[in-house]
Amino acid sequence: MIDKINALLQEVGNLRASNAEEIETLRIKYLSKKGEISSLMNDFRTVAADQKREVGQHLNKLKEAAQDKINELKAGFEQANTADADIDLTRTAYPIELGTRHPLSIVKKEICDIFGRLGFSIAEGPEIEDDWHVFSSLNFAEDHPARDMQDTFFIQHNPDVLLRTHTSSVQTRVMEKQEPPIRIICPGRVYRNEAISYRAHCFFHQVEALYIDKNVSFADLKQALLFFAKEMFSADTKIRLRPSYFPFTEPSAEMDISCNICGGKGCPFCKGTGWVEILGCGMVDPNVLENCGIDSKVYSGFALGMGIERITNLKYQVKDLRMFSENDIRFLKQFKSAN
Site residues (vs ligand DAH, CB under 6 A): 166, 168, 208, 246, 249, 280-282, 303-305
Taking the complex as a whole, how short is the minimal distance between the CB of residue 339 and ligand DAH, in angstroms? 28
Query: Do the bridges between strand 275-284 and strand 249-258 make them parallel or antiparallel, or are there none, so unpaired?
Result: antiparallel
Judged on CB neighbours under 10 Å (0-12, 13-18, 19+), 144 is middle
In order, the DSSP letters of 93-160 are SSPPPPP---HHHHHHHHHHHHHHHTT-EE----SEE-HHHHTGGGT--TT-GGGSTTTSPEETTEEE
- The least distance separating ligand DAH from the CB of residue 141, rounded to whole angstroms, comes to 15
Sign of CA dihedral 315, 316, 318, 324: negative
Give yes or no for a contact between 59 and 47, defined as CB atoms under 8 angstroms apart.
no
Q: Judged by CB, which is closer to ligand DAH: 70, or 256? A: 256
Report the residue closest to ligand DAH, judged by CB: 305
By beta-carbon proximity to ligand DAH, the closer residue of 187 and 305 is 305
Q: How far is the CB of 280 from ligand DAH (least distance, A)?
A: 3
Q: How far is the CB of 112 from ligand DAH (least distance, A)?
A: 15
CB of residue 315 vs ligand DAH: minimum separation in angstroms?
A: 19
Q: What distance in Å separates the CA atoms of residue 22 and residue 74, rounded to the nearest whole number?
A: 10
**CA dist., res. 326 & res. 278, Å (int):** 24
**Residue 199 DSSP one-character state:** S
**CA distance linking residue 259 with residue 264, whole number of Å:** 5
Shortest CB 95 distance to ligand DAH, Å: 44
Q: Which residue's CB is nearer to ligand DAH, number 172 or number 237?
A: 172
Work out how close the CB of 305 gets to ligand DAH at its nearest, in angstroms, rounded to a whole number. 2
Closer CB to ligand DAH, residue 246 or residue 299?
246
- Which of residues 188 and 264 has its CB atom nearest to ligand DAH in the complex? 188
Kindly tell me which of 40 and 285 has the beta carbon lying closer to ligand DAH: 285
CA distances from residue 47 to 4, 36, 98, 120, 320 in whole angstroms, order as listed: 13, 17, 71, 90, 96
* Of residues 101 and 144, the one with the C-beta less far from ligand DAH: 144
